[in-house]
DNA sequence: ATAATTTACTAAAGCGATTTAGTAAAAAAC
DNA sequence: GTTTTTTACTAAATCGCTTTAGTAAATTAT
C-alpha cells in the first residue's frame, strides 16, 4: 500500500522551530516540569493541530516501556452470539499470519462510529475491518478516503469502491420466500422491519407469484389477523420467538394454523418447538473471509474480489405443506 | 509493576555468539537469503527456544513499518449480547485513559486458552483481563505466575490471589430462590446444570426452608413431572425459553400451573410473555470495573479490592403468588 | 596464479518516540 | 559585581528491532 508518510514528532518539532525534546515534553504534558515557555507550547500545539499529528504508539511503547494496550480474552465457547462467531473467525485467520486484532465496539451513532474509526487508524494498524452502523452513509466517504492509505474491508455491508465480505441476504430472502411458495402457500404476510435486502427479495418473489402480501411491523399488530394467512415471513428469528410466544397464548397453532419462517438462525431457535424454519447466515466464515481479503490486500496491493456467501435454508418444522400440486 | 526484563534479540545473538543481524535474519526467515550456515541457524534457534524468546512486536512494528495489527470495528448497537456489553464497558473505560484492547476470543478448551494467554502476553501488553474457561483450573497457576509480571484481572471468575470483577451469583441465586419462597412456593424444582454458585445458593435457601427440591437436567425430563411442583428455578434464561415452548404444547400454563424463574436477563426474555422473572447480571459495569482495576494496578502497583456486583431481580410476571400468608 | 564470484557473516544507520544530562542566558541573592 | 539559582531550552543516548552496506575468507573461473 502507498504510505502517505505520516508526520513524525521530529517533523513537528522542525516546523515549530523547537527541538524534538521540547515537542516530546509538550506531547506528554510535561511542559511545566520542563519549563517550556507558554509561547513555545502554543506554537507546538498549533503545529500539531494544523498537521493533525498523531504520535506513533509503537514508538511510544518501545521508548517508554508502556504499551498502552490491554489484552482482553474472553471465552467464546457457549455464548456463541452472532458477533463472537465472526470475531473468532477473523482472529483465527489473522493469527495464522501473525496478525492481531485491535478491537473496538462502535456505538449506535454514526458520529461515534467515525470517532472510533479515526481512533483506530491513528493507532497504527495495517488495515481495518468494519461492520458499519447501518445508515451511517456519511461515514462512507471517509472510509473510501481511508482505503487509499490502508485496506478497508466491510462486513455484511457493501460500499461502492471498498472490498466486502457479506452474506447475500437478497438471495437468502428469496430462498425463504420461495420455500413458502414451494410448500403451497399463497396467502402470505410479512412481519418486521422494511428496507432490507431480505425484505426486498421477499416482495420480489411475491410479485413474481402474483401475491399481494400484507405487511405488519410488530407481532401484536399481526396476531389478530393471522387467520387471514397461511404463512408469515419474519424479518428475523426475534420476531419468530415473539410470535411463537403470542401464538401459544392466542391459541394459534404452528404450523397447523400458521406457517412461520424466520431469518438468521439465532442460537435460541434450537430451543423452540416446532423448530422454526430459518435462514442461516455464515458467521465464522464471514470473519475468515474478511481477514483473508485484508491480508491479500496488504500483501498484493490490488483489490481482491468481494466474498459473497449465500445463506442456506434450515427447513425446520414450522412450515406446513399445503395440498396444491404436491 | 516489576519488569522481569524480557530477553531481547541482542541478548539472544550474544548468547548464540552471532551478530544481531544474523539473529534478526534468522528470526525473519531470511537465513537462506543471507547465506547463514545451517549450523549457525541451529545455534540461534536453540538459543531462542531455550530462552523462549519472543520478539517485541512494537519494536518490529516501528522498524519494519508493519504493525501486524488489524483494527476490527463492530457495531454494538442492536445485537447487545452478553459479551459485547462487557467489551463495550472495558473499551469505554480504557479509552478514557488512552489504553486499547488487543482482543482475543479464547476457545472452549483449557489448552487453547493457555495458548491464547501466552500469545497475548508475548505481544507486549501492559495487563490482561480474562474470562477464563470455566474449569480451566490448570491454567490458574499460570495466571498467578503471570500476575507477578503484569496485572491480571478475571471477570466473573475468582482465582485466589488475583483481582476480579464479578457478579455475585451466589447472592443472585439466593435472591431468585427467596423470591419463590416469598411468593409462597414450597414445592420447587431445579432445572439445569449443577455446580455453580447460583445453584449452590438455591440449594442453601431450600435447605433453610426445609424444602427438598427435585433436580432435572433438561426440560424434556422435567415437563412430565411439572405437576408435582408449583415453581421451578431455571439455571438460565435459555432453559426458561425452552420450558415456555414445551409448556405451551404440553398444555401447562405459566404462571397459572407453574411459576418459573430464570437467570441472566438475556435480551430475548423481553419477547416472552408472560415476561419471565429473571436475575440481572451487570455486564457493562463489569467491563468498566475490570478496566478500572487493571488501570489502578498499573499505576499504583498494589492490588485493589475486588469489585463485586450484586445481581438484581426482575420480577416479571411468571411467578404466581400462592395464598399462604400473603 | 590471479581475478571474479560466492559464502558467511558483521557494523552501523535508522524507525519514532522518551529521557537523561547538559548548557546558555536571564534573574535573584549576597 | 560576582556567584548562585532559575528559566528555557537542546544534544545525544536509548528502547528493540530491521535493513543497508560492507568485508574477510573460501571457492570457482580463467
Query: Long-range contact list for B304-307, CB < 8 A, 24+ apart?
Result: B304/B163, B306/B158, B306/B163, B306/B164, B306/B165, B306/B166, B307/B164, B307/B165, B307/B166
Q: What is the mean pLDDT of each run of 10 residues along chain B (326 residues)?
A: 70 90 90 85 90 87 82 61 75 76 74 75 76 72 83 88 94 97 95 91 96 93 91 95 88 92 90 93 88 84 89 95 66
Length of chain B: 326
User: From the C1' of D10, which residue's alpha carbon is nearest?
Assistant: A19
Report yes or no: A190 and A216 within 8 Å, Cβ to Cβ. yes
Which uninterrupted H or E stretch holds B96?
helix B82-96
- The spacing between the Cα labelled CA in A155 and the C1' in C29, in angstroms, equals 71
Q: What is the pLDDT of residue A211?
A: 95
Q: Give chain A positions within 8 Å (CB) of B108.
A: 75-77
Nucleotide nearest to B62 (CA to C1'): C15
Q: What is the pLDDT of residue A248?
A: 82
Q: Give chain A positions within 8 Å (CB) of B238.
A: 268, 271
- Which pTM does this prediction carry? 0.81
Lowest mean pLDDT among A163-172, A266-275, B105-114, B291-300: B105-114
Spatial distance between the Cα atoms of B121 and A188, rounded to a whole number of angstroms = 55
A2 interface with B at CB cutoff 8 Å: no
Q: What is the pLDDT of residue B306?
A: 94
Cβ contact B95 with chain D strand, < 7 A: no
Spatial distance between the Cα atoms of B280 and B28, rounded to a whole number of angstroms = 50
3-class state of residue A88 by DSSP:
helix
B122 interface with A at CB cutoff 8 Å: no
Judged by CB atoms closer than 8 Å, whether chains meet at A245 and B271 is answered as: yes
- Number of DSSP helices (H) and strands (E) in chain A, helices first: 12, 12
Residue A232 forms beta bridges with which residues? A189, A260
- Which residue in A has a C-alpha nearest to residue B66's C-alpha? A126
Q: How far lies B77's CA from each of B85, B130, B232, B285, in Å?
A: 10, 23, 33, 17
Place of cell 491480508: A295
Interval A181-224: pLDDT, tens: 999 999 999 999 888 899 999 999 999 999 999 999 999 889 89
3-class state of residue A25 by DSSP:
helix
- Give the E-state strand segments of chain B in sequence order: 69-75, 100-106, 127-130, 152-155, 163-167, 188-191, 214-216, 231-234, 259-261, 278-280, 307-309, 312-314
Cα torsion through B41, B47, B50, B53, rounded to 10: -100
Residues 138-157 of B with CB under 8 A from A: 155
Q: How far lies A113's CA from each of A119, A140, A290, B78, in Å?
A: 10, 11, 19, 14
pLDDT at A1 over 80: no
B248 interface with A at CB cutoff 8 Å: yes
- Which residue in A has a C-alpha nearest to residue B250's C-alpha? A248
- The alpha-carbon gap from A86 to the nearest alpha carbon of chain B, in Å, equals 10
Spatial distance between the Cα atoms of B325 and B316, rounded to a whole number of angstroms = 21
Interval B304-322: pLDDT, tens: 889 999 999 999 999 999 8
Report yes or no: B231 and B187 within 8 Å, Cβ to Cβ. yes
Report yes or no: B313 and B277 within 8 Å, Cβ to Cβ. yes
Amino acid at each position: 500500500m502507498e504510505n502517505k508518510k505520516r508526520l513524525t514528532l521530529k517533523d513537528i518539532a522542525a516546523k515549530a522551530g523547537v527541538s524534538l525534546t521540547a515537542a516530546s515534553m509538550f506531547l506528554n504534558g510535561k511542559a511545566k516540569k520542563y519549563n517550556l515557555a507558554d509561547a513555545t507550547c502554543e506554537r507546538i500545539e498549533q503545529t500539531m493541530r494544523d498537521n493533525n499529528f498523531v504520535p506513533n504508539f509503537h514508538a511510544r511503547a518501545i521508548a517508554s516501556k508502556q504499551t498502552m494496550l490491554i489484552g482482553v480474552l474472553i471465552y467464546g465457547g457457549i455464548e456463541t452470539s452472532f458477533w463472537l462467531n465472526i470475531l473468532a473467525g477473523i482472529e483465527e485467520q489473522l493469527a495464522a499470519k501473525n496478525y492481531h486484532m485491535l478491537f473496538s465496539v462502535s456505538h449506535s451513532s454514526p458520529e461515534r462510529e467515525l470517532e472510533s474509526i479515526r481512533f483506530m487508524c491513528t493507532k497504527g494498524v495495517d488495515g481495518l475491518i468494519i461492520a458499519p452502523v447501518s445508515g451511517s452513509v456519511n461515514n462512507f466517504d471517509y472510509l473510501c478516503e481511508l482505503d487509499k492509505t490502508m485496506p478497508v474491508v466491510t462486513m455484511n455491508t457493501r460500499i461502492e469502491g471498498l472490498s466486502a465480505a457479506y452474506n447475500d441476504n437478497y438471495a437468502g430472502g428469496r430462498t425463504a420466500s420461495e420455500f413458502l411458495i414451494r410448500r403451497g402457500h399463497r396467502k402470505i404476510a410479512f412481519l418486521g422491519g422494511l428496507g432490507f435486502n431480505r425484505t426486498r427479495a421477499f416482495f420480489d418473489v411475491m410479485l413474481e407469484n402474483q401475491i399481494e402480501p400484507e405487511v405488519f411491523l410488530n407481532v401484536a399488530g399481526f396476531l389478530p389477523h393471522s387467520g387471514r394467512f397461511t404463512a408469515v415471513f419474519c424479518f428475523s428469528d426475534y420476531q419468530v420467538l415473539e410470535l411463537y410466544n403470542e401464538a401459544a397464548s392466542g391459541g394459534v397453532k404452528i404450523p397447523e394454523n400458521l406457517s412461520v419462517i424466520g431469518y438468521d438462525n439465532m442460537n435460541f431457535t434450537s430451543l423452540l418447538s416446532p423448530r422454526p424454519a430459518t435462514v442461516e447466515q455464515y458467521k465464522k466464515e464471514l470473519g475468515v473471509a474478511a481477514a483473508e481479503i485484508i491480508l491479500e490486500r496488504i500483501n498484493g496491493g490490488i483489490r481482491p474480489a468481494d466474498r459473497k456467501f449465500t445463506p442456506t435454508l434450515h427447513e425446520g418444522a414450522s412450515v406446513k405443506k399445503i395440498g396444491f400440486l404436491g
